[in-house]
């Protein structure tokens, strides 16, 4: 059997400390048995002597790290190496010692308690923990105590609950407290370990103080020109409380200043701001006195009976006199004047006065910006307004001017007042007919029939109840054709006086109509109404108003009229085609076929025009280059479009003819407007006046021997040059060259 002997050890183990001894009944003490150790910590924490069986701890043990270890031991025969006994298990339990102090894991602490709290009011609770074994001895039993913070607070030694130790602590006296708390193990006995923490305690505010004015009377001075709604002064009460408890509400006690002033609170400074509700007037009242209450906007009912939560102060406001501008008797003036009133007519007056004590005289003027055309003038002393120009209601019906009043003692002080001047209408324009001045009457009109209604308009301003009257002039009243019937409602009707009207006899009638108004003075005008006689059907629908229509056969239908019109159009088309064919035929007699034109072949059916025929080619341009600048159109070919002559640079008199011809050749080659048959020349008659006489053999009066042709040899090169200029193969009638 394997035995384990437990040996009492000191409370703290050092390295290689002996713990206990293993021994087997087989072991006779002669060294033939050895011991082995296996399990938790074997070889690292615990070791065994193989011969004696002594077990040692090779390092210190910590119960807080591991509370027990399980080991297995065995006795083995040294010679055979076989176990002499079965394996045995051992448990080593580490006993605790007081090696850990209490600790406040949540410290430092912060707590708040209302001021004026009663004795024993709960503040907060602290807690310390000890890592030692609470089941073994007093190592983990903690006791709490206050090292600093008395006599204001106390702590329960077992629970760590902190409470107030003094009643009615005042925040305004002291607001912050720092309390030092100790936790000691071993039940607080001597030799125990201790831990310390700090608790910061703040007294929270309660509304236990009323606002107080630093003085009982506030004196303020306010200029009489202060604007309504502006701040005119500030007063302030103080409250030692904080936050909402320090918010103050100001109220004006009903009395002298309640209707003139108001008071509000500045949220940032808690000052009372006096606001002006009504204008001040030094001349009417020079001072105001009233009381103001300052109270807490929020208060605690628990402290309401301690003291009144408001304070009262007196406010005296002195109104300061300020030099003010003149004041008009009215805010605006409205005047009336008839148009065309003579210049200088008085139409009204404005008045202003100095309300200051000085009572300075006032001077008046019209703001030039409001009366740029100077229609009006004003007396600078009396303020009397008169006309300066003739007024026309039809041009400007209302004038809006501004009058300025200034003080003689201080011209910089001025005031303005608007003056509205209505220009009243004078009946100066006669009424006029407002409908078109032309109407029609049917040939089959009946006597008494209204053929047209007319009305009138007046450029004058129409007064209430204005009436227009319509009538014929006296000389027209006896005529038997038409009359005017006044309906009495500012309109009239044109009435036929007989049955039937004939266009063939009288197509137009001119009826003068007299229109009068009822204003003063009475104005009248005569308008002439043109009446055209028209053909109408039986229901009065107008069919035709043209005089020539009366010669058409009676009863001709619309279809017949359309057929006649188509025939006329066809006839016109035939005439146009005939004229076009005639013109084409005439053109073909003067020119050969189109194929001849394209081949540039010229046929001469007669002799050329001679000296006078210079339009086809003017050789004079070779003699006088300036003549080439003239714009000459060819008479032998009708151009399709007439083009604006080209602007050519002037040619000097001494210009070489060859250079001149080359320039013209390039010019004509680049001209896109020239026709392709510009070399075609036809002559329908023989020219006259040639110096060389006729070159033709026709009717020649001389024989070939007498005729001299030497002069042509000089022109040969010139003909070649001209041919090159006008496009290659050409044929020229020499009768045209001189």
Q: How many residues does the chain have?
A: 738
What is the DSSP track for 180-230?
EEEEESGGG-TT--EEEEEEEEEEEP-S----B-SSSEEEEEEETTPPTT-
Can you give the pLDDT at residue 210? 86
Spatial separation of the C-alpha atoms in residues 202 and 181, rounded to whole Å: 16
For 584, the 3-state DSSP assignment is helix
- For the chain, helix, strand, coil in percent to 5 are 15, 35, 55
Spatial separation of the C-alpha atoms in residues 393 and 375, rounded to whole Å: 13
Can you give the pLDDT at residue 342? 92
> Smallest Cα–Cα separation from 356: which of 280, 283, 278?
283
Cα separations (Å) of 81 from 51, 72, 74, 544? 14, 18, 12, 156
Spatial separation of the C-alpha atoms in residues 405 and 328, rounded to whole Å: 8
Helix/strand number for the chain, H first, E second: 5, 39
Contact 323, 367 (CB under 8 A): no
Contact 49, 19 (CB under 8 A): no
Q: E strands along 108-207, which residues?
A: 109-114, 122-125, 143-148, 153-155, 161-164, 176-184, 194-204
Lookup: tokens for 316? 């005296």
Can you give the pLDDT at residue 597? 42
Spatial separation of the C-alpha atoms in residues 264 and 231, rounded to whole Å: 10
Phi, psi torsion values for 648, nearest 5 degrees: -110, 145
- For the chain, what is the radius of gyration of the CA atoms? 69
With a threshold of 0.85, does the pTM exceed it?
A: no
Can you give the pLDDT at residue 690? 53
Can you give the pLDDT at residue 689? 56
Cα separations (Å) of 234 from 221, 249, 315, 482? 11, 13, 10, 91
- Residues in the chain with pLDDT < 70? 1-16, 299-308, 435-436, 547-560, 584-656, 672-738
Token pair 């910089």 in the structure block, residue: 412
Token pair 């073909």 in the structure block, residue: 588
> Smallest Cα–Cα separation from 179: which of 202, 147, 157?
147
Residue 537 half-sphere exposure, CB side, CA atoms within 13 Å? 4
DSSP H or E run through 612: none
Q: Which residues contact 79 (CB under 8 A, 6 or more apart)?
A: 32
Q: Which residues contact 641 (CB under 8 A, 6 or more apart)?
A: 673
Q: Using N-to-C axis directions, what is the helix angle for 716-725 and 657-669, rounded to 10°? A: 20
Lookup: tokens for 406? 């200034």
Contact 736, 616 (CB under 8 A): yes
**What's the DSSP call for residue 149?**
-
Spatial separation of the C-alpha atoms in residues 675 and 699, rounded to whole Å: 36
Contact 90, 68 (CB under 8 A): no
Lookup: tokens for 302? 């628990």
Can you give the pLDDT at residue 87? 87
Neighbours of 220 (CB within 10 A): 15
What is the DSSP track for 467-522?
-EEEE--GGGTT-SSEEEEE-SSSEEEEEE-SS---TTT--EEEEEEEEEESSSS-
Can you give the pLDDT at residue 676? 54
Lookup: tokens for 176? 């912050």
Spatial separation of the C-alpha atoms in residues 485 and 513, rounded to whole Å: 11
């Amino acid at each position: 059997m394997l035995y384990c002997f437990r040996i009492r050890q000191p409370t703290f183990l050092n390295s290689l400390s002996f713990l206990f001894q293993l021994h087997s009944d087989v072991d006779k003490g002669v060294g033939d048995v050895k011991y082995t150790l296996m399990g938790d910590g074997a070889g690292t924490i615990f070791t065994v002597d193989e011969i004696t069986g002594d077990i040692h701890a090779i390092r210190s043990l910590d119960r807080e790290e591991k509370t027990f270890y399980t080991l297995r031991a065995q006795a083995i025969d040294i010679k055979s190496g076989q176990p002499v006994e079965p394996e045995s298990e051992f448990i080593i339990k580490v006993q605790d010692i007081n090696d850990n102090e209490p600790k406040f894991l949540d410290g430092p602490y912060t707590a708040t308690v209302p001021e004026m709290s009663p004795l024993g009011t709960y503040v907060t609770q602290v807690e310390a923990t000890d890592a030692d074994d609470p089941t073994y001895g007093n190592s983990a039993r903690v006791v709490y105590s206050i090292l600093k913070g008395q006599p204001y607070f106390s702590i329960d030694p077992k629970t760590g609950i902190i409470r107030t130790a003094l009643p009615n602590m005042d925040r305004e006296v002291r607001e912050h407290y720092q309390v030092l708390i100790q936790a000691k193990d071993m039940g607080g006995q001597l030799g125990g370990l201790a831990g310390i923490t700090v608790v910061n305690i703040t007294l929270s505010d309660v509304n236990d103080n009323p606002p107080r004015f630093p003085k009982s009377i506030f004196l303020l001075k306010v200029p009489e020109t202060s604007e309504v709604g502006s701040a005119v002064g500030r007063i302030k009460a103080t409250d030692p409380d904080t936050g909402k408890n320090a918010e103050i509400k100001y109220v004006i006690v009903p009395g002298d200043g309640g209707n003139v002033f108001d008071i509000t609170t500045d949220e940032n400074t808690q000052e009372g701001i006096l606001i002006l509700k009504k204008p001040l007037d030094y001349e009417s009242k020079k001072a105001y006195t009233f009381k103001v209450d300052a109270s807490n906007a929020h208060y605690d009912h628990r402290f309401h009976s301690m003291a009144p939560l408001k304070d009262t102060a007196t406010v005296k406001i002195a109104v300061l006199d300020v030099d003010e501008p003149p004041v008009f008797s009215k805010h605006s003036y409205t005047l009336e004047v008839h148009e065309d009133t003579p210049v200088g007519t008085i139409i009204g007056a404005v008045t202003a006065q100095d309300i200051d004590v000085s009572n300075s005289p006032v001077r008046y003027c019209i703001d030039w910006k409001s009366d740029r055309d100077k229609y009006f003038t004003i007396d600078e002393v009396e303020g009397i307004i008169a006309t300066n120009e003739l007024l026309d209601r039809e041009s400007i019906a209302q004038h809006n001017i501004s009058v300025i009043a200034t003080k003689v003692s201080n011209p910089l002080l001025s005031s303005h007042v608007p003056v509205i001047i209505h220009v009243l209408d004078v009946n100066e324009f006669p009424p006029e007919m407002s409908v078109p001045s032309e109407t029609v009457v049917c040939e089959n009109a009946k006597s008494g029939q209204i053929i047209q209604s007319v009305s009138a308009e007046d450029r004058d301003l129409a007064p209430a109840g204005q009436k227009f009257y319509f009538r014929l002039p006296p000389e027209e009243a006896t005529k038997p054709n038409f009359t005017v019937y006044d309906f009495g409602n500012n309109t009239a009707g044109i009435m036929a006086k007989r049955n039937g009207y004939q266009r063939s006899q009288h197509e137009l009638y001119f009826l003068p109509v007299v229109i009068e108004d009822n204003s003063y003075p009475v104005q009248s005008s005569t308008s002439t109404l043109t009446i055209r006689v028209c053909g109408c059907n039986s229901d009065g629908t107008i069919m035709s108003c043209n005089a020539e229509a009366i010669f058409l056969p009676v009863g001709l239908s619309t279809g017949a009229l359309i057929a006649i019109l188509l025939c006329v159009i066809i006839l016109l088309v035939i005439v146009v085609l005939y004229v076009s064919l005639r013109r084409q035929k005439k053109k073909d007699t003067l020119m050969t076929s189109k194929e001849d034109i394209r081949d540039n072949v010229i046929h001469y059916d007669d002799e050329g025009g001679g000296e006078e025929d210079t339009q086809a080619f003017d050789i004079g341009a070779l003699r006088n280059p300036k003549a080439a600048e003239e714009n000459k159109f060819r008479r032998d070919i009708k151009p399709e479009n007439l083009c604006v002559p080209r602007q050519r640079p002037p040619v000097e008199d001494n210009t070489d003819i060859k250079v001149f011809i080359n320039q013209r050749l390039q010019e004509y080659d680049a001209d896109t407007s020239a026709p392709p048959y510009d070399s075609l020349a036809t002559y329908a008659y023989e020219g006259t006046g040639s110096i060389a006489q006729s070159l033709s053999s026709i009717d020649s009066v001389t024989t070939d021997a007498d005729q001299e042709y030497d002069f042509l040899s000089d022109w040969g090169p010139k003909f070649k040059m001209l041919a090159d200029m006008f496009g290659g193969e050409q044929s020229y009638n020499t009768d045209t060259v001189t």
